[in-house]
Amino acid sequence: MDDLRDKYMRLIAGAADEAALEELRVQAVGKKGEISLKMRELGKMSPDERKEAGPRLNALKDEINGALAARKAALGDAALEERLRAEWLDVTLPARQRPAGTIHPVSQVTEEVTAIFADMGFAVAEGPQVETDWHNFDALNIPGHHPARAEMDTFYMARAEGDDRPPHVLRTHTSPVQIRSMLAHGAPLRVIAPGRVYRADYDQTHTPMFHQVEGLAIDTDITMANLKWCLEEFCRAFFEVDHVDLRFRASHFPFTEPSAEVDIRCSWEGGTLKLGEGDDWLEILGSGMVHPKVLAAGDIDPTAWQGFAFGMGIDRIAMLKYGIPDLRAFFDSDLRWLRHYGFGALDMPAIHAGLSR
């Protein structure tokens, strides 16, 4: 037994890995191992011999098993130490540089708006940027003499000579998507429609191409109270303030009745805009209850269904939230501007994790 003990203790101490240890375990205490075979010989011994050899064999077996377990633990600790050495990181080193590319504020704010309204149950709808005159104006209850239909405000597409059909236009708002959504899906309906729009205007706060998001909700019992709650929740989440005050001012839009422009309480103390506090008001969007003629144009019965709609400029709310002074800079392709106002490629907005991380 002493020879067996010395033999296996030496082999176990020299085992280089767990596979070698397992092989030694089988040789020593496996079903056909040397110690196991010795224990089977106990039956052939006299009672006195068995009384002496039995405890010694059991003690040897326990010692071998203990040595195997200790060596296995030591090999595991050595492997962990080697792994930690290989994966070691000096946290005092400078942080990795931010990737050179950044996300444009318009793209970031579009994702922020989408995340907020998706949490309210709104789906995202899209439509063509080159629209028919009917979808862009007639279906939205905009009469032929309305100033928005003048060539000084709207970009009309060229027509072939002799073509008497109404010309196509570069859409002046994303409201045509509402008509297409109603025709495609009917009621009830809850969608937002972000996208590019075009108008013949250019100054510090206007560009010929900019971005809007329209919202539309249609059901049997929707009221202005639902509209007010929806817009308050949006402003609170988007501007990341605990409280907002909105003021609804009566207005007129051909596609809603009644119509209201919405102002948000703010202050300009020290030349810095702060939303949700102060004594000033800032207009941020237009809204109202969908006009019955618009519902009818969308093939929805206005006697059975009603809904609200709203629209706001994505570029405008981006300027307000991130302190960007000039709308024209959004489209100047200035890399210095984009590096300053841009967002990291992995900064995906989410309601639970924060919008503008």
Asked whether residue 178 falls in the same domain as residue 266, the answer is yes
Asked whether residue 166 falls in the same domain as residue 304, the answer is yes
From the number of C-beta atoms within 10 Å of its C-beta (0-12, 13-18, 19+), residue 244 rates as: buried
Lowest mean pLDDT segment, chosen from 200-204, 245-249, 294-298: 200-204
Asked whether residue 80 falls in the same domain as residue 130, the answer is no
Average pLDDT of every residue of the chain:
85
Specify the 3-state DSSP secondary structure of 201.
Answer: coil
Instruction: With respect to residue 350, please indicate whether it lies within any of the assigned structural domains.
Output: no
Residue with the bigger pLDDT between 7 and 109: it is 109
1-52 pLDDT per residue, tens: 777 778 878 888 888 888 888 888 888 878 777 777 777 777 777 887 777 7
Instruction: With respect to residue 321, please indicate whether it lies within any of the assigned structural domains.
Output: yes
Instruction: With respect to residue 349, please indicate whether it lies within any of the assigned structural domains.
Output: no
| Confidence at residue 211, expressed as pLDDT on a 0 to 100 scale | 92
Asked whether residue 186 falls in the same domain as residue 291, the answer is yes
| Confidence at residue 304, expressed as pLDDT on a 0 to 100 scale | 93
Please say which residue of 38, 58, 86 terminates a domain: 86
- Return the CATH number at 272: 3.30.930.10
Range of the domain at 121: 105-341
**Residue 331 phi, psi dihedral angles, 5° rounding:** -120, 20
Instruction: With respect to residue 150, please indicate whether it lies within any of the assigned structural domains.
Output: yes
- Asked if the model's pLDDT at residue 74 lies above 80, the reply is yes
Instruction: With respect to residue 54, please indicate whether it lies within any of the assigned structural domains.
Output: yes
- Asked if the model's pLDDT at residue 157 lies above 70, the reply is yes
| Confidence at residue 294, expressed as pLDDT on a 0 to 100 scale | 94
Asked whether residue 43 falls in the same domain as residue 170, the answer is no
Asked whether residue 138 falls in the same domain as residue 275, the answer is yes
Residue with the bigger pLDDT between 142 and 348: it is 142
Tokens of 166: 């109404």
6: left (phi over 0), alpha (psi -120 to 50) or beta: alpha
| Confidence at residue 357, expressed as pLDDT on a 0 to 100 scale | 57
Instruction: With respect to residue 94, please indicate whether it lies within any of the assigned structural domains.
Output: no
| Confidence at residue 279, expressed as pLDDT on a 0 to 100 scale | 82
| Confidence at residue 185, expressed as pLDDT on a 0 to 100 scale | 92
Cα separation, 122 vs 189, whole angstroms: 9
- Asked if the model's pLDDT at residue 353 lies above 70, the reply is no
Asked whether residue 112 falls in the same domain as residue 164, the answer is yes
| Confidence at residue 203, expressed as pLDDT on a 0 to 100 scale | 67
pLDDT-derived band at 354, boundaries 50, 70, 90: low
Asked whether residue 192 falls in the same domain as residue 280, the answer is yes
Instruction: With respect to residue 91, please indicate whether it lies within any of the assigned structural domains.
Output: no
For range 322-343, the mean pLDDT = 85
| Confidence at residue 352, expressed as pLDDT on a 0 to 100 scale | 63
Tokens of 332: 């100047």
150: left (phi over 0), alpha (psi -120 to 50) or beta: beta
For range 206-225, the mean pLDDT = 91
For range 53-66, the mean pLDDT = 81
Cα separation, 211 vs 166, whole angstroms: 25
- Asked if the model's pLDDT at residue 176 lies above 90, the reply is yes
| Confidence at residue 231, expressed as pLDDT on a 0 to 100 scale | 93
For range 255-273, the mean pLDDT = 85
| Confidence at residue 301, expressed as pLDDT on a 0 to 100 scale | 93
| Confidence at residue 274, expressed as pLDDT on a 0 to 100 scale | 80
Specify the number of domains making up the chain. Answer: 2
Lowest mean pLDDT segment, chosen from 21-30, 305-314, 342-351: 342-351
Which residues on neighbouring strands pair with residue 263, listed in sequence order? 247, 283
Instruction: With respect to residue 153, please indicate whether it lies within any of the assigned structural domains.
Output: yes
| Confidence at residue 156, expressed as pLDDT on a 0 to 100 scale | 85
Cα separation, 276 vs 242, whole angstroms: 8
Asked whether residue 158 falls in the same domain as residue 190, the answer is yes
Share of the chain above pLDDT 90, in %: 34
Asked whether residue 67 falls in the same domain as residue 135, the answer is no
| Confidence at residue 81, expressed as pLDDT on a 0 to 100 scale | 86
Asked whether residue 34 falls in the same domain as residue 140, the answer is no
Asked whether residue 279 falls in the same domain as residue 322, the answer is yes
- Asked if the model's pLDDT at residue 201 lies above 90, the reply is no
Lowest mean pLDDT segment, chosen from 48-57, 89-98, 147-156, 216-225: 89-98
Specify the 3-state DSSP secondary structure of 206.
Answer: strand
